[in-house]
Structure 1
Amino acid sequence: MTEQSAPHISFPRVLVLGLCPGKPGEPPFRIVEIDGQVVGEATSITDVLETAAMHGITIHDLDDPEVVRWVGGGKFRWKLH
């Protein structure tokens, strides 16, 4: 009988939550968490990279689930549809 190994569940340090509409006249944003703590808002990929860098995290690959997790849309979701 072949045993299946348990799937690997990653716990990335950076978590980017779903898009929030923001206040009238302001762009939509996404909440950024690092190590389980809310650290700010991002309106672009650049904001995510800068926020991570301010906390000592260098992101080389935005698609690496070991480093960053995109919740409620991928890295290109920055506008309400």
Structure 2
Amino acid sequence: MGIPSIKNEDQYEALREKGYSKEKAARIANTPNAGKKGGKAKPYEERTKKELYVQAKNIGISGRSKMNKGELITALRNN
């Protein structure tokens, strides 16, 4: 296997400068629409606890079953 490539190098570097880990910056910069403004997703506060739980499950946040809505929001923002 070779070295993983970064699809959006500028975005990756900007995220690293903001303090994101290499893994998180690469994950964000490698999304299909990296660097494009989205704004289509509802803010976490407008989502149901179930929606937040599913999001946390999709990205592998542990302990999510014991979290309340506020804790899920914090965990998602800090992942």
TM-score (norm 2): 0.27
Whichever structure has more strand as a proportion of its residues is: 1
- More helix by percentage: 2
The TM-score with structure 1 as length reference comes to 0.27
